[in-house]
């Protein structure tokens, strides 16, 4: 076990799977398939596997995603890395082709494909268009596609292995803000299951549910709240589709208080679904949602840092609820 | 259930040995050469229609004729079902008139064998001709199109979504745009894994305007992908002439601009189509990259279903009531129907001495019987079980019902 | 006042606005801008306004939507009709350009544009890809775009007038299944506001919230339920963005029972947002959602008619809840 | 705050009377003609650089020189801020090296007057040169780029989203793909309402691969739209040479395939760019449809911000650390910087007798002072009010805060 960055952990999984399967391909555009980590060899997929299998293409994210789909249909494991700027360019082909393919063929089509789709780090100054934190909702509504959103290097690696080994298409949301997050990550391959939320902390007063780049702020807030004597149960969704209802409902049944935390816009953020499932299944609970307002993210750092998630905002909402 | 796909599959296998002597080509050219032209680098002598087909076995040539007939009679039978049988629920975007295109192209492909060696075909919203030419099981396709649980795709997909990867028929796609791009991805994977397979996409003239057209050709050229783009230019998209969406007279010009070899062929003539496809396939297998084939053709029916058609008769006439900007004149339909791909194929085979008139008629009767049996079998199959709609969303498991709260 | 179809009512509004504003344009693809109605003159925008203003284009829905956006930015009122097959082709430009334009320019950009986007009628047999009932959720999550979904000819006309007169971009969802629905519709122009839900019936036992093509089934179910003595309040959302929270919360505060009904897939259907808003604001209520399962719509009529909304399914869920 | 946009706006006005006599063109051609070529139908005599610019007033020509300098010094000042001022938060995708393109094109446009008569420019992620050339208020742009509440867009948009429709600068767009298609929509509306306005889009070589490229050119040609597509081919997209995404040597070939008139110009030479733009504008205003101009050019800085640059010096050197497949060699940067658009413009004006050396230097000093003042003003402006982020989502009202639960 070594301390590894999120980025390195992801590429370690990809490298391993490409070594195992000589047909597997990787398509990229502006994010080089390169990762380095102190004390470990540099990973460079392009030089290791050559330019027939690892291709640097033009600015056409729809082609990238569609090509990977076609490779999968032809029996080759395939993946691509879509930078956040192009996060929704390939939406239609995922929504109306890929997600429906297995079903429309009566179970015949196999789709061993992974689309890594970046979500921007919440960098002040980037402004409206370079701020795709919102895509989680769009991809989560699609049936037939497993949409995952890791929040730790450990999960990032394990979910990448699981995704690449699955014959279902996987949208692997990559929160760019977590790229340099570091933790102990095993060197050998392992899988994190594609259908289980993670309980990051157990508690009895309140359930907080978040995912992806929302998690660090939640954990900070929870540290404060715990210091104040509140017993918080923290759930990291990890999987948006199929969402792990059981873990959520069991927790809310216990705490009777649910706070959801989303970087996405309030309306129909993943938290809406979490609240709705809990509300359908648990009586007499109380609910609250913290999210980005229903406004595009402004460029001005003053406006933006006030509008995005903060540990204080989360903690304040938690106090209100309990 | 009587249908014999084996023999025709063998006949369609492009890799079968071909030892026959050359045949009287110039004679044929006089019959069919009118629309021949190319934008590729290979210039054909005036009146010359190419050469590959001359070396095919009688069995293979007869198989092509049989395939054309199968497509035709499948459609005529289905149209009659739609027009006369109130219990029939299937539908189709009919391909009649265009049969020679699918048949000629697929005859140049590898349609059987292990999945990692077979050539792959991507089809459109107008898929039944491509499917039959690629060798799918017709009775199962008939069952699928009428939503039967034993259909090719369990009744899940029907008309616009039929698929059978075991013969390399990746399948129909109801959307205009995505299929060619996805097909280029299959071609990408062939090249990456060092396979000599080729990917073929059939797309209409309407697909030209989709932004995906550019992506497909650009990336195929850049990466030298073994992709064959078969543009079936039947002059119309849903309710408008292609000149409303394309500034080129020949859509192939657009492909040539990328540096992609192109061929324009008479889509009514299966031999011409085969020749162009064979050349494209050979080039692609040898690592020479993509080819764009534009087949000039026409559909005998209207865009969708059988409006304007009469039971027992081929074709649909009268203006499509929804086509306001640009009509499909009845005279145009009748003129094109003079150049029927069934008749042309039959004449060629008789002219070449592959068949005589009686032999051709026998094949036609056999095919009619085969198709009748396919419908009899298909339409007697069980309907689907409602709850099964919750299956096959993912590889495993069933999603919960939500429609009852 | 005359009995008019949904389709005719919509084109009556468009025709009027095009007569008022000689710069206004209409772009279509396969849906002719033609409507007829017994006793009324045929409307044909193409012949009335000519092919410079009314254009029949190729199959490129992204161009259609983008062109309308560009026309709007250049100061021309503009609209287009996107058939359901292309419903998500222009998604990215609406999500990442149009919805953010006013905000990113600090309020300067004016966008007097309407994108009519069809949702399929729930025709058995069409199957997975020709079944875009799901798009309401995708468009509803976008800030900066007013997303409306009329369910009656009266609203269809009034919302079209309001949409065409608004300087905000409007996604006007057109449930194709309602095309031939008929009611009395005024001949003169009028507006239905872009921010108000409609209470279709008042009641005290239960609130049912639905929208668009979900409404006819709800009204049928409510007729049955009323016959059984249940007092149902029926809310037609009408506007998905900005959703009229007040009307929903007031109703649920009264009835303490909320049933949402969506043609869209269960996960993150508009009903998720309705439930979440009510759950945040009303304590001690009970909640239930009826929706299409998280599966693509199968072609088989047996499977499909069992899976889609039905008046019985809705009535059954209502009885369970009360 | 001292900046005088009025005079330069007047100078840039393409409709201003032009009465000057012709000037010594052949001499100039020897200086700048090396890269000239065209794919359009108009063939230029060898060594001839076109003719429109000869008839411009001294004031207009001087205005173009001033514009180039404004763009240059705005960027050098901003780069220095980024490199030396830890409080400076703005950023940019620098345009230095490409100034002649924006300047030459916008000099042929109508940049003032009522909104329904002005020509409209769509820009990219690399917008500050286009913005200045179109005539935006530079101090307000400086304030915007540093997120100030009195900035051009209230601090909401900053670097990648600047916009000022009052001068027809519809604005920057951070995405690759959409802008050209949207620009074609403005052109569509001009034609529909019978206006003689033109729409111009500036897009990089990277934009070629986007599927939108096809949509833009295809529809512009089909509908004869008054659109001018200015492709700034600076050889690289973010971290790869354009040959990784485009099979053409000249991207203009791709446009010519649609039947669109094309011009390839030396993008370092403002006069060549102006001439091509003038011809395109005249054609578009007269109803002759679109033109595609490919300007061969180069950027002095790396893709984004100022890595590899030194304060007080022009350009950035050293390989971009993220560019793994395809490097931008330092020699290439240095070679292109020899053909500096500022120097070329200055030489032309002196050669034509429009300016003498002292006059040129005076203008440069004036511009430096103007830009210094713009930064002084811009960076002293108030910051934004956090709550204002909830405004301007719609034309009226404020959306609720949701970040506190
Ligand atoms: C994205 C999209 N937009 C619209 C449609 C509706 N549509 C189905 S087929 C068709 C016309 C296709 O024309 P063409 O490609 O020429 O094929 P043909 O029908 O002539 O075989 C259209 C517009 C669609 N299926 N997908
Ligand atoms: C859809 C999309 N994908 C990716 C990006 C990231 N990106 C920004 S600029 C750029 C390169 C653009 O190259 P080019 O068009 O040549 O313009 P240049 O930067 O050279 O001026 C890329 C890939 C983006 N902005 N939008
Ligand atoms: Mg067609
Ligand atoms: Mg470039």
Say which DSSP state D164 is in. Answer: B
Q: Does A264 touch chain C (CB under 8 A)?
A: yes
DSSP sequence for A177-194: GGTT-EEEE-SS-----T
**CA–CA separation, B260 and D351 (whole Å):** 46
Best CA proximity match to C60, nearest among C32, C30, C33:
C30
pLDDT of residue D250: 98
User: pLDDT of A259-277, one tens digit each?
Assistant: 999 999 999 999 999 999 9
Q: Which of residues 382-401 of D touch A (CB under 8 A)?
A: 383-390, 393, 399-401
**Domain total in chain C:** 2
**Residue position matching structure tokens 């059987």:** B112
Query: For residue A239, is it within any domain?
Result: yes
CB atoms within 10 A of CB B320: 17
Shared-domain flag, residues C181 and C209: no
pLDDT of C156 > 90? The answer is: yes
Q: Residue B244: CB partners within 8 Å, gap ≥ 6?
A: B237, B325, B326, C56, C57, C58, D222
Are C27 and C80 in contact by the 8 Å Cβ rule? The answer is: yes
In angstroms, the separation between the Cα of residue A83 and the nearest Cα of chain D is: 11
Is D305 within 8 Å of D267 (Cβ atoms)? no
Which helix H or strand E contains C288, and what residues bound it?
strand C286-292
> Partners for C (CB, 8 Å, 3+ pairs)?
A, B, D
pLDDT for res C201: 98
What is the pLDDT, as a whole number, of residue D321? Answer: 65
- Quote the percentage of chain B above a pLDDT of 70: 86
**pLDDT above 70 coverage of chain C, percent:** 100
Structural domain for C288, as ranges: 198-321
* Same domain for C215 and C66: no
Does the CB of D244 have a partner CB in chain B at under 8 Å? yes
Least confident of B14-23, B183-192, C296-305, D74-83: B14-23
- Residue D405 tokens read as 């639960």
Tell whether C17 and C164 lie within a shared domain. yes
Residue D150 has a CB neighbour count (10 Å cut-off) of 16
Task: Using the predicted structure, report yes or no on whether residue B25 has a pLDDT greater than 50.
Answer: no
Summarised one tens digit per residue, pLDDT across range D245-279 is 999 999 999 999 999 999 999 999 999 999 999 99
A90 and A66 in contact (C-beta within 8 Å)? Answer: yes
Q: What pLDDT is stored for residue D310 in this prediction?
A: 95
Show which of C164, C185, C206 is a domain's final residue.
C185
Per-residue pLDDT band at D47 (split at 50, 70, 90): very low
DSSP structural state of residue B268: T
| D102 three-class SS | helix
Within 10 angstroms of residue B287's Cβ, the number of other Cβ atoms is 11
Distance A46 CA to ligand 2 centre (A): 21
Residue for token pair 């100034």: D99
Among A58, A62, A103, pick the best mutation site for testing chain B contact (most B Cβ within 10 A): A103
Closest approach of chain C CAs to the CA of D305, in angstroms? Answer: 20
Catalytic annotation present for A130: yes
Q: Specify the residue with its C-alpha closest to ligand 1, atom 21.
A: B204
Distance from CA of C4 to the nearest CA of A (A): 34
Say if residues B136 and B164 touch (Cβ distance below 8 Å).
yes
Which B-chain residues 319-358 have CB contacts (< 8 A) with chain C? 322-326
As a whole number of angstroms, the distance between CA B75 and CA B68 comes to: 11
Closest alpha carbon within chain C to B397: C295
Ligand 4: distance of its center to the CA of D387 in Å?
Answer: 37
Chain-chain contact of D155 with A299 (C-beta, under 8 angstroms): yes
Give the number of other Cβ atoms within 10 Å of residue D92's Cβ: 26
pLDDT level of residue D15 (50, 70, 90 thresholds): very low
d(CA A277, CA A269): 13
pLDDT of B235 strictly over 60 = yes
Mean pLDDT of D145-162: 97
C-alpha–C-alpha distance, residues A65 and A116, integer Å: 9
My answer on whether A208 and A180 are in the same domain is no
Please tell me which of the candidates A88, A103, A293 has its beta carbon nearest to residue C128. A103
Same domain (yes/no): C176, C240: no
pLDDT score at B138 = 98
Q: Which residues of D touch B257 (CB under 8 A)?
A: 253-254, 256-257
Asked if B320 has any chain D CB less than 8 Å from its own CB, the reply is no
Distance D179 CA to ligand 3 centre (A): 29
Structure confidence by residue, pLDDT tens digits, D268-322: 999 999 999 999 999 999 999 999 999 999 999 999 999 899 999 999 998 666 6
Is it the case that residue B47 has pLDDT exceeding 80?
A: no
Q: Is residue C191 part of a domain?
A: no
The full set of domain ranges for chain D reads 58-389
Note the pLDDT of residue B53: 85
Measure the CA–CA gap between B164 and C298, rounded to whole angstroms. 17
Is the pLDDT assigned to residue B23 strictly greater than 50?
A: no
- Residue B243 CA: distances (Å) to CA of A229, B176, B252, B320, D357: 73, 17, 14, 18, 57
Q: Do the Cβ atoms of A313 and D405 come within 8 Å?
A: yes
Q: Which residues line ligand 2 (CB under 6 A)?
A: A 30, 59, 83, 85-86, 89; D 125-126, 174-177, 204-207, 234, 236-238, 303
Q: Give the residue with greater pLDDT, B38 vs A200.
A: A200
| pLDDT in the model for residue D21 | 30
Do both A245 and A167 map to the same domain? no
Query: Nearest residue on chain A to B149, judged by CA atoms?
Result: A106
Residue C175 has pLDDT above 90, yes or no: yes
Asked whether residue A191 is domain-assigned, the answer is no
**First-last CA distance in chain B:** 44
For B44, counting Cβ atoms within 10 Å of its Cβ (0-12 exposed, 13-18 middle, 19+ buried), the class is middle
Give CA B225 to chain center in angstroms: 21
Asked if the C-beta of B86 comes within 8 angstroms of chain D's C-beta atoms, the answer is no
Whether residue C283 lies inside any domain: the answer is yes
Strands A239-241 and A146-148: antiparallel
- The pLDDT of residue D27 is 32
The answer to whether residue D44 neighbours chain A at the CB level (below 8 Å) is no
What are the phi and psi torsion angles at B356 (to 5°)?
A: -110, 175
Within-domain flag for C193: no
Average pLDDT over residues A48-77: 97
pLDDT at B171 over 70: yes
Residues in chain D: 405
* pLDDT score of A122: 85
- Chain A contact for B178 (CB, 8 A cutoff): yes
- Same domain for C262 and C233, yes or no, is yes
- Enter the DSSP assignment of D56: S
Task: For residue D289, give Cα distances in angstroms to B348, C25, D52.
Answer: 48, 19, 20
- Identify the pLDDT of residue C315: 98
pLDDT at B35 over 60: no
Q: What is the pLDDT of residue D19?
A: 30
The Cα of D39 is separated from the nearest Cα of chain A by a number of Å equal to 24
For residue A107, which of C303, B389, B136, B382 has the smallest C-alpha distance? B389
| Domain-embedded: residue A102 | yes
* pLDDT greater than 70 at residue B395: yes
State the pLDDT at residue D103.
Answer: 98
Q: CB C99 to CB A276 under 8 A?
A: no
Which subunits have 3 or more CB–CB pairs within 8 Å of chain A?
Answer: B, C, D
Which protein residues touch ligand 1 with a CB less than 6 Å away?
A: B 125-126, 174-177, 204-207, 234, 236-238, 303; C 30, 59, 83, 85-86, 89
Average pLDDT of every residue of chain D = 88
Contacts of D178 in chain B (CB under 8 A): none
Task: Report how far ligand 1's centroid is from the alpha carbon of B218 (Å).
Answer: 22
Topology of domain D58-389 in CATH is: Rossmann fold (3.40.50)
ipTM of the predicted assembly exceeds 0.90: yes
Question: Are C127 and C207 in the same domain?
Answer: no
HSE of A90 in the Cβ direction (CA atoms, 13 Å)? Answer: 31
- Out of B238, B299, B303, B325, give the residue to mutate to test ligand 1, the one with the largest number of ligand atoms within 8 Å of its CB: B238
- pLDDT grade, residue B22 (50/70/90)? very low
Are the CB atoms for B316 and B299 separated by under 8 Å? no
Whose structure tokens read 């162009």?
B276
DSSP D361-397: HHHHHHHHHHHHHHHHHHTTSPBPPGGGGGBSSSSS-
Distance C109 CA to ligand 4 centre (A): 27
Which residues keep their CB under 5 angstroms from ion ligand 4? D 204-205, 234, 236
pLDDT at D117 over 80: yes
Higher pLDDT, D240 or A186: A186
- Do residues A180 and A157 lie in contact, with contact meaning Cβ atoms separated by under 8 Å? no
Tell me the catalytic residues of C. Answer: 130
Atom of ligand 2 nearest to the CA of D206: 15
Using CA coordinates, name the residue in chain A closest to D388.
A303
Which CATH number fits the domain that encloses residue C254?
3.40.50.920
- Mean pLDDT value across residues A279-288: 97
- C143:A295 CB<8 A: yes
Task: For residues C123 and C9, state if they share a domain.
Answer: yes
Distance of CA A51 to the CA centre of its chain: 28
Query: For residue range C219-253, what is the model confidence (pLDDT) as tens digits?
Result: 999 999 999 999 999 999 999 999 999 999 999 99
Long-range residue pairs from B84-92, CB within 8 A, at least 24 positions apart, any chain: B84/B311, B88/B146, B88/B379, B89/B146, B89/B147, B89/C125, B89/C301, B90/B142, B90/B145, B90/B146, B90/B147, B90/B158, B90/B159, B91/B145, B91/B159, B91/B304, B91/B305, B91/C125, B92/B126, B92/B128, B92/B145, B92/B159, B92/B305
Neighboring chain C residues of B239 at a CB cutoff of 8 Å: 30, 32
Are C137 and C225 contained in the same domain? no
The answer on C170 and C242 residing in a single domain is: no
In Å, how far is B389's CA from the nearest CA of chain C? 5
C-beta of residue C199 within 8 angstroms of C-beta of residue C251: yes
**With contact defined as beta carbons under 8 Å apart, do B210 and B176 qualify?**
yes
Structure tokens at A291: 């999210």
Buried b (16+ CB within 10 A) or exposed e, B3-42: bebeebeebbbbeeeeebeebebeebbeebbebbebebee
Please check whether residues C152 and C253 belong to one and the same domain.
Answer: no
Task: Reply yes or no on whether the pLDDT at A98 is more than 60.
Answer: yes
Name the one residue in this structure whose structure tokens are 């699928």: B144
Task: Categorize the per-residue pLDDT at D45 as very low, low, confident or very high, splitting at 50, 70 and 90.
Answer: very low
Is the Cβ pair D219, C57 closer than 8 Å?
yes
Contact residues, A window 159-188, toward B, CB-based 8 Å cutoff = 166-168
Name the residue among D156, D324, D393 with its Cβ closest to that of A32: D324
Answer whether D405 sits within 8 Å of A32, measured CB to CB: no
Q: Please count the helices (runs of H) and the strands (runs of E) in chain A.
A: 12, 16
Query: Do C62 and C70 form a contact (C-beta atoms < 8 A)?
Result: no
Domain boundary among A161, A185, A209: A185
Work out which ligand 1 atom sits closest to the CA atom of B93.
Answer: 19
Mean pLDDT of D236-247: 93
Contact C280 A272 (CB under 8 A): no
pLDDT at residue B46 tops 50: no
| C-alpha distance from residue A259 to each of A74, A192, A263, A287 (Å) | 44, 25, 14, 6
| Residue B235 structure tokens | 């002059």
Closest C-alpha to ligand 1, atom 10:
B238
- A70 and chain B in contact, CB less than 8 A: yes
Which two tokens mark C177? 């299944």
Q: How many CA atoms lie within 13 A of D167 on its CB side?
A: 24
Q: A185, A212, A246 — which closes off a domain? A: A185
Distance from CA of B336 to the nearest CA of D (A): 27
CATH number at residue A153: 3.40.50.970
pLDDT tens-digit profile of C20-75? 999 999 999 988 999 999 999 999 999 999 999 999 999 999 999 999 999 999 99
Q: Which residue of B has its CA nearest to C61?
A: B210
Q: Is A200 on the interface with B (CB under 8 A)?
A: no
């Amino acid at each position: 076990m070594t301390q590894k960055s999120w980025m390195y952990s992801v590429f370690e999984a990809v490298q391993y799977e490409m070594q195992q399967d000589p047909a597997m391909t990787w398509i990229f555009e502006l994010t080089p398939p390169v990762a380095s980590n102190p004390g470990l060899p540099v990973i460079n997929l392009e030089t290791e596997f050559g330019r027939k299998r690892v291709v640097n293409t033009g600015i056409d994210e729809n082609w990238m995603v569609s090509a990977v789909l076609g490779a999968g249909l032809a029996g080759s494991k395939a993946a691509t890395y879509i930078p956040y700027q192009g996060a929704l360019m390939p939406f239609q082909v995922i929504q109306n082709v890929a997600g429906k393919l297995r079903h429309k063929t009566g179970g015949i089509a196999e789709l061993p494909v992974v689309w890594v789709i970046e979500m921007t780090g919440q960098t002040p100054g980037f402004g409206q268009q370079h701020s795709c934190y919102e895509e989680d909702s769009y991809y989560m509504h699609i049936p037939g596609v497993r949409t995952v959103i890791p929040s730790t290097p450990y999960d990032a690696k394990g979910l990448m292995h699981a995704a690449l080994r699955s014959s279902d298409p996987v949208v692997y949301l990559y929160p760019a803000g977590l790229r340099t997050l570091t933790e102990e990550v095993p060197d050998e391959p392992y899988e994190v299951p594609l259908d289980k939320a993670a309980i990051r902390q157990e508690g009895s007063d309140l359930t907080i549910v978040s995912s992806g780049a929302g998690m660090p702020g939640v954990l900070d807030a929870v540290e404060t709240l715990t210091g104040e004597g509140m017993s918080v149960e923290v759930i990291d969704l990890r999987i948006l589709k199929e969402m792990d209802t059981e873990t959520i409902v069991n927790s809310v049944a216990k705490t009777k208080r649910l706070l959801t935390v989303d970087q996405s816009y309030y309306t129909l953020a993943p938290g809406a679904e979490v609240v709705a499932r809990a509300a359908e299944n648990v009586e007499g609970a109380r609910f609250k949602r913290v999210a980005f307002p229903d406004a595009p993210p402004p460029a001005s750092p003053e406006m933006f840092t006030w509008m995005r998630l903060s540990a204080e905002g989360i903690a304040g909402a938690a106090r209100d609820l309990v | 259930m009587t249908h014999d796909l084996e023999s025709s599959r063998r006949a369609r296998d492009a890799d079968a040995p071909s030892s026959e002597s050359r045949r009287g080509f110039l004679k044929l050219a006089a019959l069919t050469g009118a629309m021949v032209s190319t934008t590729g680098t290979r210039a054909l002598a005036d009146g010359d229609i190419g050469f590959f087909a001359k070396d095919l076995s009688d069995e293979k040539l007869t198989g092509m004729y049989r395939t054309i007939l199968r497509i035709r009679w499948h459609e005529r039978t289905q149209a009659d079902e739609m027009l006369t049988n109130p219990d029939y629920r299937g539908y189709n975007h009919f391909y009649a008139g265009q049969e020679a295109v699918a048949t000629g192209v697929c005859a140049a492909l590898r349609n059987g064998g292990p999945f990692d060696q077979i050539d792959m075909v991507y089809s459109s919203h107008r898929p039944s001709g491509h499917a039959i030419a690629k060798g799918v099981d017709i009775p199962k396709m008939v069952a699928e199109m009428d939503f039967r649980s034993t259909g090719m795709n369990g009744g899940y997909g029907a008309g616009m979504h039929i698929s059978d990867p075991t013969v390399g028929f990746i399948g129909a796609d109801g959307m205009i745009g995505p299929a060619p791009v996805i097909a280029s991805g299959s071609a990408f994977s062939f090249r990456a894994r060092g396979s000599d397979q080729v990917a073929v996409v059939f797309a209409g003239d309407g697909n030209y305007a989709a932004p995906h057209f550019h992506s497909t050709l650009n990336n195929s050229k850049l990466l030298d992908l073994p992709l064959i783009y078969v543009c079936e230019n039947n002059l119309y998209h849903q309710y408008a002439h292609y000149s409303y969406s394309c500034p080129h007279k020949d859509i192939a010009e657009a492909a040539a601009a990328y540096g992609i070899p192109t061929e324009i062929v008479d889509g009514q003539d299966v031999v011409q189509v085969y020749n162009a496809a064979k050349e494209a396939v050979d080039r692609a297998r040898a690592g020479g990259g993509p080819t764009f084939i534009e087949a000039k053709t026409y559909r005998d029916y209207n865009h969708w279903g059988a409006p304007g058609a009469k039971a027992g008769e081929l074709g649909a006439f009268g203006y499509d009531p929804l086509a306001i900007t640009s009509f499909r004149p009845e005279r145009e339909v009748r003129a094109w129907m003079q150049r029927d791909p069934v008749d042309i194929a039959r004449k060629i085979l008789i002219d070449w001495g592959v068949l005589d008139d009686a032999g051709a008629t026998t094949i036609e009767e056999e095919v009619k019987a085969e198709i009748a049996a396919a419908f009899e079998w298909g339409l007697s199959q069980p309907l689907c079980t409602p709850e099964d709609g919750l299956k096959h969303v993912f590889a495993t498991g069933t999603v919960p019902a939500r429609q009852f709260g």
